[in-house]
Structure 1
């Protein structure tokens, strides 16, 4: 029998293939992601709490912004223009909300508000770094240190009565420091000047003047003063103001203004609206003045036209009377009077019909603006107009039948009446415009004056906290998923089987194996303390798989190893040994970790107990180190005293002789070895026994480490017989199913930290 051959026993090497596994795809497994996130709920909660704290800090440290709003009514200005009806459309105009909004935000209007409120003066307290806004608003105690004394505190303010700077200092900061006597300023040219409250500090040589009206701050506080250009101040005010029409074509304009305080928001908006109303009234008065001037220019012309028409009519009548007398003096009192009567009657009717037609035309225009072309009222008005036009046409036809003299008289009389109507209407409109000019009220009026809202509009607390909660939760989930992805540990048995490693069993996670008292010298054995736990069923399944797989094996010894610490080799070794002994097998458990072996703690043995190292060093016999464990048919060989040269000690032939001797007395020999990637001891043990099983920890052991273990054994001419998936957690497993192998079970591996250094004793 050649125990040192490189290949594992034939029955383990040629074990039947694993059950077929469902093929993996690239689809996102939502169930698995949810389970991973649920497992990392503490991380998610931590990120969420931190994000909420950041959000609360941002909210507390953000300056408040308040808003005031007002309503103004826009009226049509066309009806205010005092012009004759026939001329009104030449200068008539209407007011729109968009036009008035642009006028309201113009420099002409806002410039007046800036000048009235001195908004080109900027006064800002010096704020502490990072938390300055919060310190200036809340009573946060700060040490009374010289470096912190200049930063603003709640309730402090500075009010200016005058600030004038030379043009080259526009936009430059002037540092004002409060002193016991008053204040001290540092100008942009780095000169300092002393000032007193209520007194004007003037520098006539450069055109600078400053007068502080009120100062409520202790000595040491700093304020930063600036005078900005009128254009910049107007732009700032415009950016804080919004105007929009309330409803479609309602003529009601809603205007809002934002500012750092409620009082300033109302004051700024009132100033802007008052300036807007003043310019509107001035514009209305100017329009009335222009209209009156236009009418006055037209009155002489209309008067001259009327005089000419009257002169022509009178001259024609005189000429007609003279011709009639010269032709037949007997007609003066007879037929001529009758003709004049007919002429006057026709002229009166024609004038009345023309007046009615003008009124009908005005009604038709107003009705067409309100209703559609098919509306009955509009059709009725059109029928009336057609009737009047027909009557007028008939009268004009009758005029054509009159003698030439009467026709000319009618034509001249119509010219006189039209000129009179225009002249009298211009005079009436001139009087109306004089009254309108004297009492101009504009085309807008303020319905609701500026009223600030009680709560600030920014920052929005609920929105900030909601966004913080969302961002924190998403960041926590992302952290958990990325952390899980970066681990790239073994997720189920399929990962190992795809690497040509048969999985003998899957040992699930159990809380009973989470030993918080690791430093105790009497660690509990789960197979004895919790024999009914499902984890123990996993070990029984592993025992069955190994029993039938090693029927024809040349050696009954197996080595349990792992790629790195924390895989649970010791936990697996001791519980597998117990369940095998409980099944009637004679089992020998050997702690082959000659560097940091801790199996003795499961059996409450002292560290000085002789063991494997003493056997290999020939300082002790097998009978002296083979110890009963209290479990029937289970014997234990501890590590003994840690040797300084474990690898060299294991390479001695005494190890092979020990395995041969134990093969004759025991049915199963289990060697708990150190991790493969840490030391070379497992490879040496594998040559002596012929069978090595790798312990892989679920979600902990990277696949790359498993591949590295395989290459290590291949380089040494050996082969891993299979693997055990330990610590499998279904809550963090792929949704396709639990991992499984030839044996199925549940459990969790007890891990510990390795520090591979020679240890004395």
Structure 2
């Protein structure tokens, strides 16, 4: 391995002053190690992303391709709309009949009706929304497909047609649940109403489909249906329906709107018809009562036509001023008592008749009694009758879609019977008891007032009663007759309260295309995955790569950073100049990191092979020689050292021969042609037991003796992981510098070996970082090229140790 050196100096050149007497180092002591930095290192993350950029690019490309492929399997989403006009002109504010309220539904009730299963379920059945199949070509097979909801067995099925027969089996198993000849009914035991002909099944050998219950399909429809209400007397109800099939969406929404209109019209028709029927019953009862009152008045007048009347009767003296008031009060109380008695008798008769017939109270008859409608005490009776009407309406509505044997119909009948037979009669009995109390109170008052009216003919009072009864009956009949005519006209001219304003139209383009978002999401996800993976790989990388790993993890000073040299021409020269400046800095840092006032003795080692320790030690020694220091370079790697080849000196005798006593010191000191101030001691002959010689006292004695003759002694030792050689050599020199190579050095190995060094009398002065790209975290370790030192005359290109022309550093990998 080789490295650049400074320009050669002559042998006669004297050492510089700093190495002559160490005057400038006499009072200087090295500082303590800097504290480790904390917090996230953004520059490290950037370097990691740059190092794994191709991994990130490949993952991003794969993510984009995956997203693009995924878009082929995702169908676009369409959206259809429809507008329905709601007639709110009579909602909650119109004039109803004499008994019941005829107001339309409010806004929220319309939405509730739209989302009711009575509207959605028929649409599901009509549009076959309970059925789904993957292949569009199979749609002709299911053209006449239908189901019996009561017997349906939902699930995934496969129909296989073979020749003249077919078999139906669940998708999860091979055992058929039904089979038969082509043309027979298919899946009758599964609840299917399906009998395709041979022509329809022609060309279809296997048909896969899924059947679900209509209620489940209705829930799916309601899930994709969005409603919006406007304001005003005729607001719009906006329907929005989303899905995958544009044609199916439009037909489904239009069917839903039509079913909604039909259901609303049916509800209104039932309500109007019920109102007309109720009013007609009341009108007929009132007509009978009016005819009865008129007949009684006519009979009375015919019977008393020849008898004297009130006008022929003289009034006793003193009563001229009191008779009218007394008579009016008497007549009023008498009429009130008679009305109460009549109403009570009618109510008791109706109550007795209902109990005898066990059919419950007749609302029309009860409501035709005047006191029921005018007396506040009859409020609970009216409330029960209204509840009875509601129960009857509910029962009629349920019977439209269900048979009497249905459980829900029976439950509705039971609720109606409870109101008619128990609750309503109980309230009526309580009201009759109150009427009796009122009768008793009025009769007492009449007895008191009767004394003042003893001289007034009874027939006059009776006639007045009959006239009033006839007049009241006529007024009641007229009112009910008018309301009945209105109800008949409303029934004849019934129109829906809602109208479809805008029908749904199949859209040509999807309203929601997830393909771009899917591709973008896949790219972003893959990019984030690549970034996370790059950071994770960087965090788990056991190799040395960043300067803070040397300072924080290993606790070492950075003596210098040796850049990578790989360029040619001008670029190679610039890189060589960078290396020269680097070794100048390393030389200065090493000199000031050791004990002043004595020769520099330093062992250069590394945690493992291929870290470049020989490169650093040889070029550092050459740099000291260039600076005028008498420098000795010892090849302490007696296992694989090749410094003799680098500097062109004999490989033996060397350190091994000196330590075993077979050679003298003068014989092992080899001058170099690279610089007159540089001397080398080669490793010597390779021997299996040569490492044992490093443990003898002769090694520290040799270093101590040479320290008196040389200013700088640098020992190139084997790696720390090779054995105890590096520890023995470092103990002899008392100083150690560790070489860490980016991307090669194992940090865990380095940390373990440095822990062993801490137990020995060795001072680790720092580390030299080798093979570093001066970018990213190392960008500030470079030097300005435009500010380099130059001679006025043309100077030769800086040379590399062991090379005279090339600026490339190349040392056998196994020898670094």
2:284 counterpart residue number: 300
Aligned to 2:241: 257
Q: Which residue of 2 aligns with 1:332?
A: none
Which residue of 711, 724, 744 corresponds with 2:767? 724
1:198-221 Cα distance to aligned partner (Å, 9 max, x none): x456588998755279989988x8
Residue of structure 2 in register with 1:103 after alignment: 113
Distance 1:309 1:515, change over 3 A: farther
1:237 maps to what in 2? 221
In 2, the alpha carbon distance for the partners of 1:640 and 1:177 equals 89
SS of match in other structure, 1:160: coil
Say if 1:266 and 1:600 are closer, same or farther in 2 by CA, change over 3 A: farther
Matched, 1:211 2:196: yes
- Equivalent position to 1:62, from 74, 89, 92: 74
Give the whole-Å Cα distance in 2 for the aligned partners of 1:242 and 1:62: 23
Contact residue 566 and residue 572 of structure 2 kept, 8 A: no
Residue 589 (structure 2) pairs with residue 545 (structure 1): yes
Distance 1:156 1:479, change over 3 A: same
Answer yes or no: is 1:422 the counterpart of 2:466.
no
- Tell me how far apart the structure 1 counterparts of residues 57 and 498 of structure 2 sit (CA, whole Å): 57
Q: Tell me the secondary structure at the aligned position of residue 161 of structure 1.
A: coil
Task: After superposition, give the CA deviation of every residue in 1:289-343 in whole Å (9 maximum; x if it has no partner).
Answer: 2122222222213434555676789899999997476469xxxxxxxxxxxxxxx
Question: Which residue pairs with 2:501 in the alignment?
Answer: 447
Report the equivalent of 2:84. 72
Q: 1:248, 1:627 → 2: CA distance?
A: 110
1:145 corresponds in structure 2 to: none
How far apart in 2 are the matches of 1:12 and 1:315?
152
Aligned length: 611
The verdict on how the C-alpha distance between 1:173 and 1:501 changes in structure 2, with shifts beyond 3 A counting, is: closer
2:153 corresponds to? 170
> Deviation at 1:226?
3.6
- In the TM superposition, what is the alpha-carbon distance from 1:723 to its structure 2 partner? 1.0
**1:288 pairs with 267, 272, 279, which one?**
272
Comparing 726-735 with 665-674, which one deviates more in the overlay?
A: 726-735
Cα gap change, 1:164 to 1:500, in 2 (>3 Å): closer
Residues 461-500 of structure 1 aligned to structure 2 (within 5 Å): 461-487=515-541
- Write the mapping of 1:562-573 to structure 2, written as runs, cut at 5 A: 562-565=606-609, 567-573=611-617
**Cα distance in structure 1, aligned partners of 2:45 and 2:508:** 46
Question: Is the 8 Å Cα contact of residues 559 and 686 (structure 1) preserved in structure 2?
Answer: yes
Superposed CA RMSD: 5.6
- Structural mapping, 1:349-368, within 5 Å: none
Local SS of the residue matching 2:490: helix
- CA 1:560/1:295 → structure 2, altered by over 3 Å: closer, same or farther? same
CA-CA distance at 1:655 after TM superposition = 6.2
TM-score by length of 2: 0.59
- Name the residue aligned to 1:391: none
CA distance change for structure 1 residues 275 and 723 in 2, over 3 Å: closer, same or farther?
same
Q: CA deviation digits over 1:159-180, x for unaligned, max 9?
A: 423457899882344334577x
Greater alpha carbon shift after TM alignment, 647-656 vs 538-547: 647-656
Of the candidates 667, 673, 695, which is equivalent to residue 739 of structure 2? 695
Which residue of structure 1 lines up, in the alignment, with residue 353 of structure 2?
none
Superposed displacement of residue 123, structure 1: 2.1
Query: Is 2:103 the partner of 1:92?
Result: yes
Superposed CA offset, 1:628-672 (max 9, x none): 464664566776887666644755788668757865775434333
Q: Does 1:224 align with 2:208?
A: yes
Instruction: Report the counterpart of residue 16 of structure 1 in structure 2.
Output: 29
Distance 1:248 1:46, change over 3 A: farther
Q: 1:505 to 1:753 in 2, by over 3 A?
A: same
Instruction: Supply the distance in 2 between the matched residues of 1:693 and 1:307 (Cα, whole angstroms).
Output: 132
Contact 2:656 2:685 in 1 (8 A): no
Change (3 A) 1:683 1:660: same
CA contact (8 A) 1:158 1:215 kept: yes
Out of 701, 724, 727, the position equivalent to 1:683 is: 727
Q: Distance in 2 between matches of 1:643 and 1:667?
A: 31
Q: Match for 1:559 among 585, 593, 603?
A: 603
Structure 1 residues 309 and 409: CA distance shift in structure 2, 3 A: closer
Alignment of 1:115-154 (within 5 A): 115-124=125-134
Whose radius of gyration is greater, 1 or 2?
Answer: 2
CA contact (8 A) 1:507 1:726 kept: yes
Contact 1:160 1:214 in 2 (8 A): no
Match of 1:272 in 2: 256
| Residue in 2 that maps onto 1:342 | none
> Is the alpha carbon distance of 1:632 and 1:625 closer, same or farther for their aligned partners in structure 2, counting shifts above 3 Å?
closer
Aligned in 2, Cα 1:625/1:216: closer, same or farther, shift over 3 Å? farther
User: Which 5+ residue runs of structure 1 have no aligned equivalent?
Assistant: 1-10, 126-153, 329-403, 517-522, 740-744
TM-score using structure 1 length: 0.63
Correspondence 1:276-675 to 2 at 5 A = 276-304=260-288, 307=291, 323=309, 326=312, 415=472, 418-419=475-476, 421-436=478-493, 440-456=494-510, 460-487=514-541, 503=557, 505-507=559-561, 510=563, 513=564, 515=566, 530=575, 532-533=577-578, 536-548=580-592, 556-565=600-609, 567-589=611-633, 592-593=636-637, 611=651, 616=656, 626=670, 628=672, 630=674, 633-634=677-678, 647-648=691-692, 667-675=711-719
Deviation at 1:281, TM superposition (A): 2.0
CA contact (8 A) 2:734 2:763 kept: no
Instruction: Report the Cα distance in structure 2 between the residues aligned to 1:579 and 1:249, rounded to whole angstroms.
Output: 99
Aligned CA distance change for structure 1 residues 697 and 756 (closer, same or farther; 3 Å): closer
Once the two structures are superposed, residues 329-360 of structure 1 have per-residue CA deviations (whole angstroms, 9 ceiling, x without a partner) of xxxxxxxxxxxxxxxxxxxxxxxxxxxxxxxx
1:694 positional shift = 1.9
Of residues 106-115 and 300-309 in structure 1, the stretch that sits farther from structure 2 once superposed is 300-309
Aligned to 1:161: 143
Hey, what's the Cα distance between the residues in 1 that align with 2:138 and 2:725? 76
Which SS does the other structure have where 2:720 is aligned? coil
Partners of 1:81 and 1:92 within 8 A in 2: yes
1:114 maps to which residue?
Answer: 124
DSSP-derived class of the 1:16 partner:
coil
What's the CA shift for 1:407? 11
Mean Cα deviation higher: 224-233 or 405-414: 405-414
1:190 matched to 2:175? yes
User: 2-side partners of 1:525 and 1:721: how far apart?
Assistant: 37
Change (3 A) 1:653 1:471: same
CA distance in 1, matches of 2:645, 2:203: 71
Name structure 2 gaps, 5 residues minimum: 1-23, 315-459, 783-787, 789-807
The separation in 2 between residues aligned to 1:13 and 1:564, in whole angstroms, is 36
Shifted more, 422-431 versus 169-178: the winner is: 169-178
